[in-house]
Chain A
Amino acid sequence: MRSNYLFPESARFYEHSLRLYERLGRELDFNIMFSQRGMLTLAHSRHDLESQRRWANAMRLNGVDSELLDTDEVAELVPALDCSPSARLPVMGGFIQKRGGTVRHDAVAWGYARAADALGVDIIQNCEVTGFELSSGGAHTVKTTRGTIGADRIGLATAGHTTTLADMLGFRLPMTSYALQAFVSEPLKPVLDTVVLSPACGVYVSQSDKGELVVGGGLDLYASYAQRGNLPTVEQTLRGLLTLFPSFSRLRMLRQWAGIVDVVADSTPVLGRSPIPNVFLNCGWGTGGFKAIPAGGWCFAHTIAKNEAHPLTAAFGLDRFARGALIDEAAASGIAH
């Protein structure tokens, strides 16, 4: 969870999302276990330091909190980190967004589901969309494994599977599906009370309330719909983890999984109209859409209800590719892919 983006369009949107998260638990009356324990990004070279200075200052100019740290300050914050000059990739500093942190993802889904249900929203589980019936005014019939549903307006929010629905509707998207893996270790006593990201080591890690380390890395770098991921990426991510924290070398991993994510060239979501007049798009979140949920949902509802873009997502339309108005937000992916 963070809003450490570079460009004003992204900063405005993700900062709004973070603010909504700050009061989401109360609004849903559900403990989403939001912990603003800070999100620390490490610098391992003078180059990193320079680009982080630019990045952290861009955040401040956008009204988002960020603080630059030197090696001693990083070492004090994360004692388990190998900050010695002889480290394979010596830590030369970093920057922290203190309002960043972690949220329990299941709790967000459960909290939203309960609140939506209470408002009268029908949530139909285990129901796959298998096709659409197209007429002159657009798509008004959704075919599913549990029958046919009529709809005045349709929103596609199926992440890594959005192009399969677009294929059914007959249009193309600027998107490729990749597997992104994550790992959870056996529980440890408290050792890490912030989120640590090292782009150079290709890894990020935090400790859950149950004591497990939650570890992630880069994508498996070829298209995939297989929800498991491959071993070279496991090796690379865990190698990165041990480069930063040699003391974790005896740790066993309890769980590993991969989700299919929808990656766009400029790492900015696609939210707005589709080529079909009554079908709307909410996709392209890639590896970073969890932090966007409250704002993405809000702006998507606005877009569908009013048939026009919300000001916060007006720049995220599908038309930006032909106009060359890309928002090349490498920070969206958190780590360089």
Chain B
Amino acid sequence: MLLLTCPHCGPRDETEFSCGGESHIARPSLEATDDAWADYVFFRTNPMGVTFERWRHAYGCGCWFNVARDVVNHRILATYAMTDPKPATSETAISNGLQQSAELAR
């Protein structure tokens, strides 16, 4: 069972939330190629480690927010606002995750 922390309502059971998948995905320009659009719509980073994802307090206040979560041990590493950048904390796990996504972005 995950214990997520809604920025508005505080810590609540995972059953009150719904996961919206990977966060920080930037929409390409309208002139982008079909490949770029396919990448935006369908392709996902799916690391075996830290992911950055959107969650919604669906059965609470309705707020969307971001979560950094280790998908192997299910630890929540950070909770932050929708418009915040990916957190750069001293957590080794987080920095690994950031490294991984930086590598993927290359």
Which chain A residues have a beta carbon within 8 Å of chain B's beta carbons? 161, 163-164, 167, 172-177, 221-226, 230-232, 264-265, 321-324
Contact = CB atoms under 8 A, between A and B. Distances in A.
Given A221-B19, A225-B71, A226-B71, A321 B42 contact: yes
B47 A167 contact: yes
A89 to B, nearest CB: 20
Interface of B: 1-2, 13-15, 18-19, 21-22, 34-35, 37-39, 41-48, 51, 53, 69, 71-74, 100, 103-104
Contacts of B71: 177, 223-226
The A interface, classified by DSSP as helix, strand, loop or mixed, is mixed
A222 B44 contact: no
A256 to B, nearest CB: 14
Contacts of B41: 265, 321
Quick one: which of A231, A232, A321, A324 has the most chain B CB within 10 A? A321
A226 B72 contact: yes
A223 B51 CA distance: 9
8 contacts: A173-B43, A224-B74, A225-B48, A225-B72, A226-B72, A226-B73, A321-B42, A322-B37
Nearest to B45: A172
Contacts of B51: 223
A231 B53 CA distance: 21
Contacts of B43: 172-174, 321
Nearest to B20: A222
Contacts of A323: 34
B1 A232 contact: yes
Contacts of B35: 322
Contact of A175 (B18, B38, B46, B73): B46
A173 B37 contact: no
A78 B101 CA distance: 51
